[in-house]
Amino acid sequence: MSGTRTIEVQLSTTGLAPDGTPQRVPLAVDTAGHLVPVGAALPAVEPDLGGEHMLINIGPQHPATHGVLRLVLELDGETVVRCTPHIGYLHCGFEKIGEYRQYNQIIPWTDREDYLNSIGNNVAFVLSAERLFGIEITPRCTVLRVIAMELSRIISHLVWVGTTAIDIGAFTPFLWAFQERENVYNLLEGWVGARLTTSATRVGGMAADLPDGWLDGLRNFVRTFPRTIDEVDRMLTKNGIWVGRTLGLGAMGAAEAVNHGLSGPMLRASGVAYDVRKDEPYLDYETYDFDVPVGTAGDVYDRYLVRMEELRQSVRILEQAMRRLPDGPVNVDDPRVILPPKHKATSGMESMIHHFKLVMEGPRPPIGECYVPVESPKGEKGYYLVSDGTSKPVRWRIRPPSFVNLSAIPKMVEGHLLSDVIAINASIDIVMGEIDR
Amino acid sequence: MSEPTGLAWVALSFAKLLAIFVVYLGTVAYTTLAERRISAWIQDRHGPNRVGPQGLFQPIADGIKNLLKEETIPGSASPWLFVLAPALAFVPAFVTWAVIPWGAPLPTPWGTISLAVADLPVGFLFILAISSLGVYGITLAGWSSNNKYSLLGGLRSSAQMVSYEIAMGLSTIPVLLLAGNVAMGDIVAQQQATSWNAVLLSVAFLTFLVSAFAETNRLPFDLPEAESELVAGYHTEYSAMKYSMFMIAEYANMMTAGAFISTLFLGGWDIPFTTWDSTGAPSALKSAATFAMLYAKTLFWLFFFIWVRWTLPRFRYDQLMALGWRVLLPLLLAYIVLIASVLLALDAVGIGRGGAYVATLFGVNVAVVAVVAFWLDRGRLVSPAASRLQVQELERLRQVAARRAAIAAAGSRGT
């Protein structure tokens, strides 16, 4: 080759500008005969040992993506050079559907978005709706909802511990965790009749009060459950391979974590003691005695430790809630939202009309909007509701903690190895139903 | 005590071959059931218990299912290699069994026969050589599938098995130093004369055990198939009997490893605390008892493999390589020098192969194990996952990729 030519080359997807538009990179031939981008500060002779980069899809059908997440990874050997998450494979349009449903009819949809935390979502949704309606719930209902939320947190964290252990190669803790999860589901089944899709709450109360003897079952669970936590703890926490696989992995500093909008255990593992239950208390959480575990390094190991400790703290909260559970009505005495008792609705004319109107038209909140954040197992979760005074919201929006936490994944995995992508992805604790909605 | 000759030798060899093959294949089949039942026991569940009493016919049902399933070959795969790969994984796993002495010599009307199909003078070198052929099966399976997960699995396995082949080979050198021979029969005889090599050479025993896990691709070293990362690794695209052959090869390798460990370090067919088995005239009873002994030892190792698999998490690829090259290799090299020196010293002082000899070697090994365990406790054995490319390095890699893409694009346009 003689002389220097300038060739303009249209690059494929690898040549995207930061704003997403395709970039045209002018290339020139250098003295060694190689093509180099004009003006790029590259060494004249690049030792070409790496070979081609490989693009590999992790998902949407992959055993370790916890649903239908798709991560497009650009690998140099096994090192991740670039990670592009693709979401939307599970989009169901929950929020849009909600605009065509009465408030109580939305509750079953909240079961189905973060399906590991269904009863917690039920509670979170009605908290928002009740603020919109301006309803004060009864003391018994408040404590019942605390029990529901903490059981839900235990379910979610158990699934997290189990699946993360599988992703890092330890299969056994998964089944131990799932056995305890079955116990919680049995409790929920006894209470509301459903295991996974609970739909347990109603605006102004709960679908059902506790059946007789249910608290004994919970007491038994609270007594035996810490043993399982200890067993998993013994299997993993000081295991050399487990520590080696998780320590220092996907570390996020406190400032970084806040900048990415992380919340929940992800944020607390980075050393920020933000817990909605403490900072913006709801359901009288400020009167419960529990600790918020906080990590230091913000790596996968810290996230694991934080979640394990949260399981123990949930048990503490459950114990206190059981002790203080007052007698009295569960539902508020407010005919605007609460159906009349069935025996009255079938015998008295007024109650029958009341029942008919509430079912056919639904309760009507005043005009307004509201957002009540709660501490879901995955982070700060809230339902934003806008009412125009009709019985259906004009806008229903979910703040999904998984979605926000997942947004930091390229930041966390780039530079790590392929195996670490799986571990880091697991540590975020995502549920695709909540992300795609 | 004469060896059989002529036609009798051929017939007896064939009989031995058939007997061992049947025992071996039967054990492999039932190891799959044992794995499922033991894992169920560890995990607090039932496991397969429907097919026959306690699920005992499960392996037969699995075999029939795998034979009757449709054989699929992906359209983009390389068909010959794709079919060849399971066979390449399968055969070496079985061939290695020929040299393991299965018990005390058996008297027959035609002469006394050794219970190894072939007690080769090259002994365990044969096992090392043949078992390393198995890597071809896995690598070719990964490559010929034309699937990225399979490719990564195949690459990992070739690197892993080649690396641990070295650690495994080095762990056997102290055994060779003690026995002065590589023939398996002589190694067993040496252990009967002094003490089991697990006592005399504890460090080599432990490192061999670790390498055996890596060689058999069992957790914590099951990176080639790492189901949470690579779907199923090298056998992602395989189904039916070809998949089954990989599984059989894995369990066969486990059994080989178990028998190999038992022979090299646990006295082979030696029955402990008695000399009845190795002295006096050979008899059928002795052969049967010693065979049962080695079989029991092998079963123990199978159980051990299964137990570890359902207990530990998985290593990461670079941690595995670091363990092999940066820990085991230098450790074993130093250990070989140490053991050779101790043996020379013992000979120079004039201590014969008796109690003092065993005690000295055991003391040396305990000291080394203590040092290594102390060192291991400091967290240096498993390198942490924190190692990560810097942002600048990432940026450089991306630019290199972009430039390669540009060169490829320019080349394809003929400029």
Confidence bin at B89 (pLDDT 50/70/90): confident
Name the DSSP letter for residue A370. E
User: Given this model, what pLDDT does residue A49 score?
Assistant: 54
Tell me the pTM: 0.81
Confidence bin at A317 (pLDDT 50/70/90): very high
Q: Give the closest of A42, A79, A418 to B229, CB-based.
A: A418
**What are the tens digits of pLDDT across the range A7-24?**
544 433 345 555 656 555
Q: Where are the domains of chain B?
A: 6-384, 391-415
Tell me if chain A has a CB within 8 Å of the CB of B308.
no
If asked whether residues A25 and A116 sit together in one domain, one would say no
Instruction: Name, in order, each residue with C-beta under 8 angstroms of B283's C-beta and a sequence gap of 6 or more.
Output: B107
If asked whether residues A411 and A286 sit together in one domain, one would say yes
Q: Which helix (H) or strand (E) holds B11?
A: helix B6-42
Determine the Cα–Cα distance for residues A143 and A139; give it in Å rounded to an integer.
7
What percent of chain A has pLDDT above 70?
88
If asked whether residues A307 and A385 sit together in one domain, one would say yes
Determine the Cα–Cα distance for residues A56 and B300; give it in Å rounded to an integer.
41
B294: closest CA among B120, B115, B98? B115
Determine the Cα–Cα distance for residues A22 and A29; give it in Å rounded to an integer.
22
Distance from the Cα of B15 to chain A's closest Cα (Å) equals 42
Q: In what order do the strands lie in the sheet with A368-376?
A: A368-376, A379-387, A395-399
Q: Which residues of A touch B149 (CB under 8 A)?
A: 56
Instruction: Name the residue with tokens 């703890």.
Output: A233
Confidence bin at B228 (pLDDT 50/70/90): low
What percent of chain B has pLDDT above 90?
2
Determine the Cα–Cα distance for residues A426 and A402; give it in Å rounded to an integer.
11
Determine the Cα–Cα distance for residues A412 and A424; give it in Å rounded to an integer.
7
Contact B228 A422 (CB under 8 A): yes
Contact B101, B269 (CB under 8 A): yes
Scan residues 366-405 of B and list those with Cβ closer than 8 Å to A: 376, 379, 381-386, 388-391, 393-394, 397-405
If asked whether residues A136 and A11 sit together in one domain, one would say no
Size of chain B, expressed as the number of residues it contains: 415
Determine the Cα–Cα distance for residues A253 and A262; give it in Å rounded to an integer.
11
Instruction: Name, in order, each residue with C-beta under 8 angstroms of B187's C-beta and a sequence gap of 6 or more.
Output: B123, B124, B175, B179, B181, B197, B263, B264, B268
Within a domain: residue A161?
yes
- Bridge partner list, A322: none
Tell me if chain A has a CB within 8 Å of the CB of B311.
yes
Q: Which residue has the higher pLDDT, B228 or B72?
A: B72
Tell me if chain A has a CB within 8 Å of the CB of B222.
yes
Name the DSSP letter for residue A13. G
B328: closest CA among B223, B243, B410, B214? B214
Average pLDDT taken over every residue of chain A: 84
**What are the tens digits of pLDDT across the range B116-134?**
777 777 777 888 888 788 8
Q: Which helix (H) or strand (E) holds B308?
A: helix B284-309
If asked whether residues A7 and A132 sit together in one domain, one would say no
Q: Which residues of A touch B402 (CB under 8 A)?
A: 11, 14-15, 25, 37
Instruction: Name the residue with tokens 């190894």.
Output: B116
If asked whether residues A26 and A131 sit together in one domain, one would say no
**What are the tens digits of pLDDT across the range B5-17?**
778 888 888 888 8
Determine the Cα–Cα distance for residues B220 and B222; give it in Å rounded to an integer.
6
In this structure, what token pair is assigned to residue A21? 């538009």
Nearest residue of chain A to residue B377 (CA atoms): A240
Q: In what order do the strands lie in the sheet with A6-10?
A: A6-10, A24-29, A35-37
Determine the Cα–Cα distance for residues B328 and A348; give it in Å rounded to an integer.
85
Number of structural domains, chain A?
2
Q: Which residues of B touch A78 (CB under 8 A)?
A: 152, 317
Instruction: Name the residue with tokens 């798709």.
Output: A70
User: Given this model, what pLDDT does residue A42 score?
Assistant: 45
Nearest residue of chain B to residue A61 (CA atoms): B231
If asked whether residues A249 and A349 sit together in one domain, one would say yes
Average pLDDT taken over every residue of chain B: 81
∠ CA B48-B53-B55, rounded to 5°: 20
| Boundaries of domain holding A179 | 101-436
If asked whether residues A412 and A281 sit together in one domain, one would say yes
Distance from the Cα of A163 to chain B's closest Cα (Å) equals 10
Question: Best interface-test mutation with A: which of B218, B222, B314 has the largest number of A CBs within 10 A?
Answer: B314
Q: Which residues of A touch B45 (CB under 8 A)?
A: 175
**Rounded average pLDDT over B220-249:** 79
Dihedral sign computed on CA atoms, order A177, A178, A179, A181: positive
Contact A299, B384 (CB under 8 A): no
Contact B314 A170 (CB under 8 A): yes
∠ CA B147-B148-B151, rounded to 5°: 85
User: Given this model, what pLDDT does residue A44 score?
Assistant: 44
Inter-chain CB pairs, A–B, below 8 Å: 173
Q: Are strands A6-10 and A24-29 parallel, antiparallel or unpaired?
A: antiparallel
Confidence bin at A184 (pLDDT 50/70/90): very high
Please tell me whether the interface predicted TM-score (ipTM) of this complex is above 0.90. Answer: no
Instruction: Name the residue with tokens 């190692």.
Output: B387
Contact A172 B42 (CB under 8 A): yes
Within a domain: residue A76?
no
Nearest residue of chain B to residue A426 (CA atoms): B228
Q: Which residues of A touch B220 (CB under 8 A)?
A: 169, 241
**Rounded average pLDDT over B332-352:** 85
Within a domain: residue A91?
no
Contact A240 B381 (CB under 8 A): yes
Contact A170 B318 (CB under 8 A): no
If asked whether residues A408 and A298 sit together in one domain, one would say yes
Window from A30-39, A111-120, A233-242, A370-379 with minimum mean pLDDT: A30-39
**Rounded average pLDDT over A371-381:** 91
User: Given this model, what pLDDT does residue A152 score?
Assistant: 92
